[in-house]
Structure 1
């Protein structure tokens, strides 16, 4: 049990089921509410969404790498003492003011197609992040389904145990009357008192199990554990118990085509492949074109004829200069950096392919197990329905036989225990069937957070 679950449990047990003293109000939460809250609050989902935003910025950066850059700089200074004036080309000792302005731009013309590979890598990584985000939404939705159904199941079990306690009380009152008139031995009274105490103990344990399942659901939803919550169970007519027919081979094919985690990994593999191309691009020469323009002003510059100072605007116009150039860089030896980068990129690519093989194996096992569990759940629906029908009839018959003295309390107690067990098995089968339907959809990758779990 992790720390947050332990803290929440302590709060539950010390507050009597999350009842707050501040306002005493209870918040009712339906399944749809639970899904909406979990999707809005889940930290891992928010981080996955942030990662998508991060990768979008990286794609924008890689696209912009194809554009030329442009830099503009200016410099203004006040000089005194012996200095060399760059504008008048004189050694001077008097104070002077200078100003210069430069603009430069450069663009890569060829770098071994490394920029193309970088863009493709960023796009593949973005695709992988998007798919990971969608899979994380499915995972959060699935966690809510699992925890919510467990809460409802445990609530149903509490109801069954509460009904059993009431039935045991009624039986105790009848036995008290029987023993009073002498039609039953006093041992039956003592035995029934023990039966009632045992039923109350089991009810207490069921209530604690229900509290624990609520704690886990609150943790999944990341709600405030200091508040009081009531989770609404669906009406029986809202439960869809119609079984579907599945083909295992078709399920396998669908899972490999639709699972967003394997598609995300495929995109990561493609990104790693582009990483190899990026590393190999360092083997090729690079060609860059650059250009620039500049101008300057000096307070010491004089007209050679009139010896008058040349004004600011005229100097900026007269001192204009420009340049255009090409730079070719040919790699000769870089201390095996390119070679090691290529090998590292290949290893990353190989590891991702191994991860895919492992994921394929896991998907196959998950789909196969969910397929088998689903049809087991279907069979349990039928078996538990028959079991419950028979247990009800048996308990009714034994109760009548005991009332007329044709049966013992031991036989009646056993019949009652069988009925309670059959009722528990039935609700377990119902919610297990609903859950297994969602398990199949989750492992197929088709689970949709917008879909309705109940009718």
Structure 2
């Protein structure tokens, strides 16, 4: 049985050494160093959601331009040349002739809408409001991407910090194994302590492998957010845990909520969408009102049948025709199309108002939850600091007691496990505290892409 345990431990160690040796050449390559600010710049320039929001913004700008152009008159030019064979009526002489005749005509026409029931005005205002909404959506999308970068960047840093904690545990377990080996050699400790410590060291190495795997997963997720080459080798710059600012902010939930209602871009976008829907109702109602348009045209022509009497220029001058007219259209009955359009626009307007109410409720819940989570994170800072200090002292005492034979290996192993857990909990508490601060900024709508991750 002991031989089987030893064989398993040796196999585990060989696998561990093989993985480290296989990872060595990869780490030896020159990795691209990426700071947090560089990560934000990459995400803002590459993220598909931002590019799509920017495209929608450009598209709506074109729609505004089109709505403005509806106020301008149109202008059309046309010309035609034809050859007639046989009997025909000459358009310039109005006589029947049987011959081959060439004709040419030139015309120009223009028209402008003078009044359409304020439909054009309402359409332009709706387009401008929708453009404003798209601008706020674009801004909120940028904040969302920056927040995703912060979240995933912190996950990478925390995973890397956990690797250091687990590596320190492996080193400590190795030193402890060497010490126990010496105790066993001189007969002051039973061989069972050696086997137990070998198992503890193998467990520590396994936990280190898990931490390294979690680090790779966190890096992969960040690479996906940044949308950079997944096959590239990257080094994300992480600050020292001791240099992370733990300044506690005093927040008032009512002030936070008012700030969110004033500054959240998605709320501003929804409010602009309501204005656009209201103008959409006015635009639909314009179908009930009469419309008035002004038009004018000019035309002239030339015929080869009269070229022996009038020159080309004389014919163009003599055959001129001008027209100016006003057109008034009064809707009487259009198969209920206008009424249906108005009712449909009113439903869209009511839905937009409901969407705003729902979004306001969501924002209030998000701000409240972020505030409560922040209070919990502040408390965890104090608790984990005490936990880590106590675990460190307990480990020191157990090491001293074990060295003089006053403690068992089980007690020492448990003390070391408690210390490793306390160190991991402390790291998580520090980064969770900082993350909750950024989460409040995000839910308030004040997240600044140019702000560094750590001061």
Same fold, TM exceeding 0.5?
yes
Q: Which residue of 1 aligns with 2:262?
A: 257
Please state whether the residue corresponding to 2:427 is helix, strand or coil: helix
1:136 is the counterpart of 2:133:
no
CA apart distance, 1:149:
0.3
1:153-198 CA distance string (max 9 Å, x none):
0010011001101110100000000011111111111110110011
1:237-282 CA-partner distances (Å, limit 9, x unpaired) = 6522101100000111110111000110000011001111111110
Indicate conservation of the 8 Å contact 1:286/1:328, yes or no.
yes
Aligned equivalent of 1:105 = 110
Equivalence map 1:386-405=2 (5 Å): 386-405=386-405
Structure 1 residue runs of 5 or longer lacking an equivalent are 1-12, 303-307
- Residue in structure 2 matched with residue 244 of structure 1 by the alignment: 249
Which residue of structure 2 lines up, in the alignment, with residue 7 of structure 1? none
Which structure's residues are more often helix, by fraction? 2
User: Which residue is equivalent to 1:348?
Assistant: 348
- 1:19 and 1:227 in contact (8 A); partners too: no
Correspondence 1:148 to 2:140: no
Structure 2: distance between partners of 1:444 and 1:18: 45
8 Å contact from structure 1 (residues 18, 229) kept in 2: no
Q: 1:236 to 1:220 in 2, by over 3 A?
A: same
Give 1:4-403 correspondences, 5 Å limit: 24-236=29-241, 238-301=243-306, 308-403=308-403
Looking at structure 1, the residues matched to 25 and 440 of structure 2 have their Cα atoms a distance apart, in angstroms, of 37
3-state SS of paired residue (2:247): coil
Q: Give 5+ residue unaligned stretches, structure 2.
A: 1-18
CA shift for structure 1 position 66: 0.9
Deviation at 1:29, TM superposition (A): 1.2
| Aligned residue pair count | 435
Determine if contact 1:17/1:228 at 8 Å carries over to the other structure.
no
Q: Secondary structure at the match of 2:306?
A: coil
Counterpart Cα distance in 2 of 1:164 and 1:17: 20
Instruction: Summarize deviations over 1:196-237 as a string: whole Å, max 9, x none.
Output: 011111111111111111111111111111111111112346
RMSD: 1.7
Query: Equivalences for 1:391-430 in 2 at 5 Å?
Result: 391-430=391-430
Q: CA offsets, 1:347-403, max 9 Å, x none?
A: 111111111111111101100000011111111112111211111111111101100
Contact 1:279 1:345 in 2 (8 A): yes
Q: Return closer, same or farther for 1:81/1:237 CA change in 2, 3 Å cut-off.
A: farther
Q: Do 2:241 and 2:427's aligned partners in 1 also have CA atoms closer than 8 Å? A: no
Per the alignment, do residues 238 and 107 of structure 1 end up closer, same or farther by CA in structure 2, a change over 3 Å counting?
farther
